[in-house]
Each structure stands twice: as C-alpha cells, then as structure tokens.
Amino acid sequence: MEPSRPAADLDLRSVLEAHAQAAAELLAQPLRPVSDHLAGYVETIWAERPGAVWLTGWVRRDAGQEFPVVLADRRKYAGAMALACYERADLPPDAHAFVGLLQTDWQPGAETTDVFVFLGPELRQFIRSVSPLRLQDGPGFAAEFGRVQALCHAGRVNALRGAMLSGRSWLPDTAAVSGATVEAAVDEILALPGFGCFVHGWLLSPTKRLVRLSVKLADRVLHSLPGSLYFLPRPDLGAAAPKLPGLLDRAGFVAAMTGMLQPEDLVSPVLKAWFSDGTSVNFALEPQVVRRLGHAVPYEAALRFYPALANETFFADFAGAVRDEMAGRLAASQMLGTAPQAERYVIAILPPHPSDARLMVDQLALRLRGRDPLPAVALVAEQGMARAQLPLMADWVRTATGAPCALFTMDDTSKPFLALPAILDSLGARRFMVVGAGAFPDAAAWSGSLDRLMGEEEALSVLTATNGAALAGMVWTAANFRAHLATASPAVGATHGQAFLGPAARVAGRARMTALGGRPDRMLESVDAAAPAQGGSR
Amino acid sequence: MSIELDPGLQALLPVAIISHAHPSISKGGAEIAAHTLFQGLRALGIPAVFIAAVPLPLRDQLDLGADEYAVFHDPAAYDHLYQLGDAATLQQLRGILRETGARLLNFHHFMSFGINALRDLALTPDLRTVVTLHEFLAICHHHGQMVTRPHRSLCSMATESACGACFPELGWRRMGLRAELFRDSFAAVDHFIAPSQFLIDRFVQWGVPAARMGMIENGLARFIPEQDEGPAAGQKSTWVFGYFGQVTPFKGVDVLLTAAERLAGMPGMAERIEIRIHGNLMGVPDDFRARLQELTASLPFLRFTGPYENGAVFDLMRECDYVLTPSVWWENSPVVIQEAYAAGRPVICTGIGGMAEKVRNGVTGLHFRRGDGNDLARIIATATDPATHAALLAHIPQPFGPVEMARRYLQAFAAAARPGSADDGPTTTASPSSPMLDVALLRGQRKKRGT
C-alpha cells in the first residue's frame, strides 16, 4: 500500500481520466491535419511508463491547457493532456511554451518518426512532433521541468509537479522538481532474484520524515517490508551536512524489499523515498551499487544488515530463494568432448588447487593400474585452474591405466551430488564410485571402494575422512542414488554430503582431506537448517 | 681397471645413474656428484648409463657424452608442491631403460622426474632402485632446506603442524598429505644413500628405516692435487681467508660481511688478514649487493673477486690459509669442504648440520655460531695463531675421487640387489597419521608382481 498522495496529483488524475473517456468517443472522427489548424509543435518526448508520456514544446495561447486528444501515429490513440505554460522569447506573441503530461496508451516506438496530437473536443487544432523526433530521458526531462516550473503562469504546474512526484512516477532525481532539500545516496543494493533485495544507504531530509523506501530495478518495483526499515548513525556525513547535526544519528538506513526480481532485472536502479506527508522523491542510482548476492558477494553478506536474519519474518522467503538458486547452480555440469559409455565409473571430483588435482590423478592412476577389469574414469573440475589442466590429466589417466576417461566441469566441486544424476546419465553408468574434491583415500580405501564398484552390491557404501566424521566418497548404483535424491535433496551448505553418512556401510580405510567440506558459510548453514523436512538423513 | 662384482648385481647391469639435471646445463652439487659417480663406474669398467632430466627450453645447451641420455621435460607441467612429474617424462625414462636394459637405478634426486616416477619405477618388479639423498626436499617443502619461513630459523623436525605454520597458505592438511606421499613412495625404494650422517639421521627421524640407509661421501670430480705444505708460519705476514661459492644470504655471506666489520675494529687485525670472496653474485637482493660494494670499498682487507672457473678452485684455495663456509642452513656435505681438504686447507664453518659433521672442530677446522658475525670474527682472529693453523693442517683428511666413490657405491648397489633388501620392517617413526598401511600394501603389490 502506498502512502497517501498529494491532493493536486489526485485532482489531475481525475481530470485526465475524464478527458480520456471523452477522447475515446472521438476516435471514430476523421482527422484532417490542415496546415491552417497547426497549433504548435512537440519538441521533446519522455515516455515515463505505459500510460504516461511527458512532452515539451509550444502551442498557441488559444488552444487551452487541458483537453481530450487523439494521437495519430500510423493508427489512432485516445488520450488526455494537461499543460503548464510559460513564456519563451523565441516564440510569436500568440504562442507560449509548455510542459505537459499525456495520458495515453501510445508510446513512441523505434518506428515512430512523426506524431500528430489533435486537440479535442473539436479535433480541428493539432500539434505535431518536430522532425526528427527528439526522445528525452527521465533525468533530462526532470532537469528541464525543474528549470521551467517557476516560469509557468498558466495551466496546472502544481498538479504536474505532483504527478511527477507521485508514487507512480519513477522519474529519476525528482528532488529538484519537488523543491525539497532532500539528499540521499545508496551504498549498496544486495539483490537476490526470487527474493528481492537489501538496501543500505543514507538520506538527509531537513523537513520531512522518511517512512518507507521503494526501489525500481529495470521495470520491477520493490517496496520495503513493513518493519524492516531501520536507521543508523552516519557521523561521516557531518562534514557534508554541518547544519543538520540532529539528523546524523539516523541518517543511515537499511531496508529489506521483496518482489519477483529476475536476474535480468538488476539494472537502472532508482530509489524512491516516501515521507510521512505522502510525498516521495526519487533518486537515480549508479548501476554499480547493485550487487547480486551469491555472485558478486556471498549470501552471508546479508548478515551485515540483518545479523539475526534467520529470525527475521522474511527469512523463509530469503532461504527459499537461496536454496533454489544454489540447487540450480549446483545441478549444472558441462561435458567436455564425448563421454565413453561404460557401466562402471570412477568419478574423481578434482579439487580446485592445481597441485591437489594433480595428486588426485596420480593416486587414481596408481590405484587403477593393473586392475582387471578396469572401470572407466570421469574427471570433474571447477572452471578454474583445474579445468585448464583437465585434458592433460585425462591423457595421464589414459596413458597410465588404459582406462577410458570422460571430462566434466561443474560450478562448485565441494558440492557435487546435485550434478551427479546428469553426469551419470551422460556416462551410461549403472554403478559408480565418487571421490570428493580434496579427499585422498589411502590404499585400503581405494582397494575396498574399487572392489565394491566392480561388484554387484546394491546398498550404499561410503568412504570417510581420517576423522571418520566427514564424507570423502561413496560407491552406489546410479538408480538408487537417483531415487535417494528424489526424496532427500542434499544440503547446499558445508554439510552437503553429510546426510549420506547416516546408516551407510563404511569402506575400510580412510581418506585424508585437504579441507573438510566446502568453505564454511553461516548463511548457507542457516538456509539448510530452514529447509522443509524432506526425509532428511537416510 | 676391473673389479669383482656380486652376482646379483652383475645380473642387473648396466647401472642407470639418474640425475635431475645434466652438468652441461647446471652445476649443482647433486648433478656433479651423480656424474662423478658415473665417471667412476666407467673407469672401473662397470656398464653404466647416465640419464639426466633436461628442461625442454634448454635442450640446445645440452652436451651429452658417451652412454649419456636425456629425458626432456616441460618445467611448466611439473608440480612443485607434491613433486609430481608428468606422464610423458616417465614414459621417456621407461623407454631409455628398456633400450639400455638398465635394471638397477640410482636416482640422484627425484626432482624433474617426479616422486611419482621414482615410485612407479620402484614398484616395477624387475627393477631395483637406490636413491641418493642430497637435501631434505622429501621432508621440507621450503627448498628442502629445513629452514623456517619466513624467519629462516633452523627447523629440527618436520611435523604437519610445523610445516603448516611455515606454509599457512597451503595448510597443515596438505603438508600431512605431502609427507604421506613421500613416505609411501620411499617405502618402495630398495636402498638410500646420503653423503652425510646428519642427512641420514634426519631421514631416519622422519621415518625411513635406518637399515635401508647408508652413508657415502661424495667424491670429487676433478683431479685432486697433491697437498702443498703451505708457507711456514713464521714467514706469514698476512692470513688469507677465502669464501668459495654462490654469494647469497643463504650461504651466510652477510654473516661474513658482519664479521669483516667487527674485524676492522679489532686493533691490528686489519693489517694481518685478507678476506677474499670468490663467487657469483647473480640474483641477490639489491641491499645485499650494496652492502657488499660498500664494505669492499671501505675495508682494505675485504675483496670481492667475482666468479671463478671450477678448474681453478684448487689453486685459488691454496692461495688461502683457510676456507670459509658460513652457511646459515644445515648443508649436507658441501663440496667446497672436500675441495678445501683436497687443497690442504682447514675450514672455518658454521657449527651445524653437515658442516659440523664434515669439519671436526679444533681438528680439521673451526666452528662458529650460526649467523653470528661477531663469533666468526672472533674465530678468524683465533685462526691467525700459527700454532692453531699448524695443528689443523696436520689433520686435514684426504678426499677421494670418482673411482673410490664408485667402489663404495657398488657395495651399496650389491646390497640393494639382494632379494628382500627393502623388506626391513616398519619405519622407525610412526606419525599420528602413520602411512604403515600404505607401505604394507605397496610392498604387497610389488611382491604380488613377482619379486
């Protein structure tokens, strides 16, 4: 719900609505652009949003300032227009300049070269666009409006200003238009598609109290959640605002906003600050303030703004978005070249550190050498340094063991299990042994695992780390593994594979680990803890 | 020259001396020692081949002699943390072994080939492997020097946590993994040789069974001159102290410079001594270079003479009364000490590690405290006593050359050639994450294949 709007804006809207209805009845009338009835020109156009087009230009004084209109741009459109007029030295005495708002379904398109606006109700007089058509951007139009508004002597300048400042308007940088001495900046917008965003910035308003914030990203508008807005001291603004010491204690703000944000929406940010009197002011933001959580900054960066995020009312939505995004990312893999089809595969998830990856391949080759029959090998790496080494390592495996070798990349090798089903499908594997990234099984663990891989046991067997408490790998059938994932999705945090440990049989021996699990992430652990019960550990 | 060989060894000939570098490319101690042994074996009429790893970019500089082979490797494909070579390097090495029929392999260092190449060959049923250790690379990732990072303190024992503290960017887990890889790989080796007892003790402490280790000093490659008697003490007006080798802080030349500053302040000392620094100044820090230039300009008794030809080393040493070895790391068996003895000169050295072992304090030379320029100045002043010098000269040992080195190696090779030579029980030190299981399995794997 938006705060109450200024009365002038509401009045203008009702006037325009009435004119638009009248214009709809005029659509059937023929339009004749007789040159004697040319009443002026449209010099610039800014299409603010569907239904709202702003114009500047000049018009004969006798044309009036409010009318139903019919536009002609290859076809006819009904609309309504309100003008505010001012004197301009370059115009003849019977004309004055205007800024105006056009309520219409018409929007200038790429094909638009000329547009005629017939002024109702007679539709005899008309104004037309200059050639070539001059399209204006929001900030440019606002600056022009701010410059001329004090000059206007006729028409609804206050109402137009109200419309420009209304909650429906996303004209950037309306502080100059409003006349209010409001300054604001945003330090950071941490956006999470599927959830919304967190906004962190400051605002100095000497006369009005900030009650709410909204952000527009591309065409998406997000509003601060009730109760999520809080204020912070910003003593660093003291030098910039020496006469406003009373505002500095709560000049900083943080807010959480939700909305159906898509990844492609994270552009053209505009902040709207709502005040207790119902007015609002927009601020154009630098695109660099928008950072995508989980991409440019880790998810746990949100904890900087809401240290008790897991206890906030919006956490369930946040956690769901994180989980969905992580699951999609973790499930993605890419095959390099073609994969030899084989029933039994050793899938070695290579660690990101190039030396560790080399050692993994060395150990794999050592343990496979001389085994008969040989399983096939798949090497999986992240798209970092280890990826660059993949072809060399595959050659090593083939040379040292004679085993066929397939290659894959995935996003995060510390969490491989969501990507495994697709990998297993492309390999045609019926049974598999997977060795986790950074896990280095000892000879007994290799031997035991390979024996099980080449056997027919249906049950899950796991390799554990030296401390016995961390998953280092597993041997299973592809069918049982897929069935398990259908009922219990692995965690997206550091405990990604821990649920497999459960009651599974242990392979003899142990694995050394260069790291225990993925990088610890408090946020992902909270997200996992908030996951709906789904069977959990086996 | 002929020699009677153990029948078991005879069956394994020719011997392959496998070096991580070729002396025509670089002149490090390990490759010089390996080539000296090769020359000694040939002088004794023992069938032998010399196989050196050569970086591909340096291929044009290679100058191979008779029965010498090169394995060309790509340095960029080598992993320096775990010391892993690539598959192509091992393939080339196996090809040369097949071609030459060599079945007794003596590795001098495993670098460039990789610990994996050494291990894989050691596991090959019809081959025997002897590894000559030249430093601590298997134990210490810090250039095999057992000197801590970044403070360069001496390290007396490698542990996962201590190594992890030296390499926090790698972490203790990787250090443990590295140690286990090397212990496992060494478990397949038949015998180890080291040029100093100090080196042996360190490896035994680390986990290699003492029964599989033997000490053989490096022979000197070049002609060993007759010792001169030196000038009579009564005739001496100036005592000359010579440093020979790379001019780097690791070799303790900065300690020597500090000692020179102290000696300048000792009454009458500047007129009685001359310190000559012979060596290559490449790759030293700018501040070190500036200090050296400043002191050689201001102290008349301190001279930097620059690089020298190896063939001239004995003559240069004989122009000195003492040879200085002020290294701040352990060293193992520095060839410069053997060269000093060959030139008939006592050695003043840091009293640690291989230096302390090779130079008996007060008998064949004098020790000073590691990194202590004041103590080195004190010892140099003491060394100018004619009686002290005469006593030390009387006990200078006689080093040996390629042939004697080869004779001693042949005894070790014969021991390694005997069946079951590597089955000498568990390692002497069981770490908390003991590699025993892997060792046992590796040996089992080897036996299963027919040895």
Q: Is A250 inside a domain boundary?
A: yes
Give A136's contacts (C-beta < 8 A, 6+ positions apart): A44, A45, A46, A54, A56, A144
Q: Which residues of A touch B91 (CB under 8 A)?
A: 399
pLDDT value at position B250?
Answer: 77
Protein fold of B7-219+402-448 = Rossmann fold (3.40.50)
Considering the domain architecture, whether residues A204 and A267 belong to the same structural domain is answered as: yes
Q: Which residues of A touch B432 (CB under 8 A)?
A: none
Q: How far is A196 from chain B (nearest CA, A)?
A: 37
Q: How far is A343 from chain B (nearest CA, A)?
A: 27
* Cβ-based interface (< 8 Å): residues of A facing B: 353-356, 358-359, 362, 366, 370, 392, 395-396, 399-400, 440, 442-444, 447, 466, 509, 512-515
Q: Is B116 on the interface with A (CB under 8 A)?
A: yes
Considering the domain architecture, whether residues A195 and A127 belong to the same structural domain is answered as: no
Render A274-306 in DSSP notation, one character per residue. Answer: EETTS-EEEEE--GGGEEEBTTTB-GGGGGGT-
ipTM of the complex: 0.87
Q: How far is B380 from chain A (nearest CA, A)?
A: 47
pLDDT for B129-181, tens place per residue? 999 999 999 999 999 999 999 988 999 999 999 999 999 999 999 999 999 99
Three-class SS state of B335: helix
Give the mutation candidate from A350, A353, A356, A510 for the B interface (greatest B CB count, under 10 A). Answer: A356
pLDDT for A17-33, tens place per residue? 999 999 999 999 999 99
Output the CA–CA distances (angstroms, integers) from residue A398 to B41, B121, B281, B404, in the order listed: 38, 18, 46, 45
Considering the domain architecture, whether residues A32 and A132 belong to the same structural domain is answered as: yes
Contact call for residues A46 and A57 (beta carbons, < 8 A) = no
Considering the domain architecture, whether residues A90 and A233 belong to the same structural domain is answered as: no
Considering the domain architecture, whether residues A185 and A231 belong to the same structural domain is answered as: yes
> pLDDT tens per residue, chain B (451 residues)?
567 888 889 999 999 999 999 999 988 889 999 999 999 999 999 999 999 999 999 999 999 999 999 999 999 989 999 999 988 999 999 999 999 999 999 999 999 999 999 999 999 999 999 999 999 999 999 999 999 999 889 999 999 999 999 999 999 999 999 999 999 999 999 999 999 999 999 999 999 999 999 999 999 987 666 656 665 555 678 999 999 998 887 799 999 999 999 999 999 999 999 999 999 887 788 999 999 999 999 999 999 999 998 889 999 999 999 999 999 999 999 999 999 999 999 999 999 999 999 999 999 999 999 999 999 999 999 999 999 999 999 999 999 999 999 999 999 999 888 876 655 543 333 333 333 333 333 333 443 333 3
Inform me whether the pLDDT recorded for A186 exceeds 70: yes
Considering the domain architecture, whether residues A189 and A303 belong to the same structural domain is answered as: yes
Distance, CA of A462 to CA of A451 (rounded, Å):
13
Considering the domain architecture, whether residues A269 and A352 belong to the same structural domain is answered as: no
pLDDT for A43-98, tens place per residue? 999 998 888 999 999 999 999 899 999 999 989 999 999 999 999 999 999 999 99
Inform me whether the pLDDT recorded for A1 exceeds 70: no
- Parent domain of A213: 180-326
Considering the domain architecture, whether residues A321 and A353 belong to the same structural domain is answered as: no
- Domain tally, chain A: 3
User: Residue A359 and residue B438: Cβ atoms within 8 Å?
Assistant: no
Considering the domain architecture, whether residues A422 and A506 belong to the same structural domain is answered as: yes
pLDDT value at position A2?
Answer: 44
Amino acid (1-letter code) at residue B412: A
What radius of gyration do chain B's Cα atoms show?
A: 23
CB-count exposure of residue A282 (10 Å: 0-12, 13-18, 19+):
buried
Q: Which residues of A touch B435 (CB under 8 A)?
A: 442
What radius of gyration do chain A's Cα atoms show?
A: 33
Q: Which residues of B touch A514 (CB under 8 A)?
A: 171, 173-174, 177
Nearest to A396 among B81, B87, B433 (CB): B87
Output the CA–CA distances (angstroms, integers) from residue A193 to A261, A295, B393, in the order listed: 5, 11, 84
Query: One fold for both B7-219+402-448 and B233-393?
Result: yes
Q: Is A54 inside a domain boundary?
A: yes
Q: How far is B18 from chain A (nearest CA, A)?
A: 21
Q: Which residues of B touch A362 (CB under 8 A)?
A: 82, 84, 116
pLDDT value at position B306?
Answer: 93
Domain boundaries, chain B: 7-219+402-448, 233-393
Q: Which residues of B touch A447 (CB under 8 A)?
A: 441
Q: Is B382 on the interface with A (CB under 8 A)?
A: no
Q: Is A175 inside a domain boundary?
A: no
Q: How far is B437 from chain A (nearest CA, A)?
A: 7
Q: Is A239 inside a domain boundary?
A: yes
Considering the domain architecture, whether residues A288 and A147 belong to the same structural domain is answered as: no
Question: Looking at domain B233-393, what is its CATH homologous superfamily?
Answer: Glycogen Phosphorylase B; (3.40.50.2000)
The whole-number average pLDDT for the span A367-377 is 94
CATH of the domain at A290: 2.60.40
User: Residue A366 and residue B120: Cβ atoms within 8 Å?
Assistant: yes
Structure tokens at A294: 């989980």
Distance, CA of B42 to CA of B60 (rounded, Å):
26
Confidence of residue A16 (pLDDT cuts 50, 70, 90): very high
- Within 13 Å and on the Cβ side, how many CA atoms surround A169? 34
pLDDT for B305-359, tens place per residue? 999 988 899 999 999 999 999 999 999 999 999 999 999 999 999 999 999 999 9
Per the model's pLDDT, the better-predicted residue between A503 and B218 turns out to be B218
Q: Is A416 inside a domain boundary?
A: yes
CATH of the domain at A510: 3.90.550
Considering the domain architecture, whether residues A146 and A49 belong to the same structural domain is answered as: yes
Contact call for residues B399 and B36 (beta carbons, < 8 A) = no
Considering the domain architecture, whether residues A142 and A209 belong to the same structural domain is answered as: no
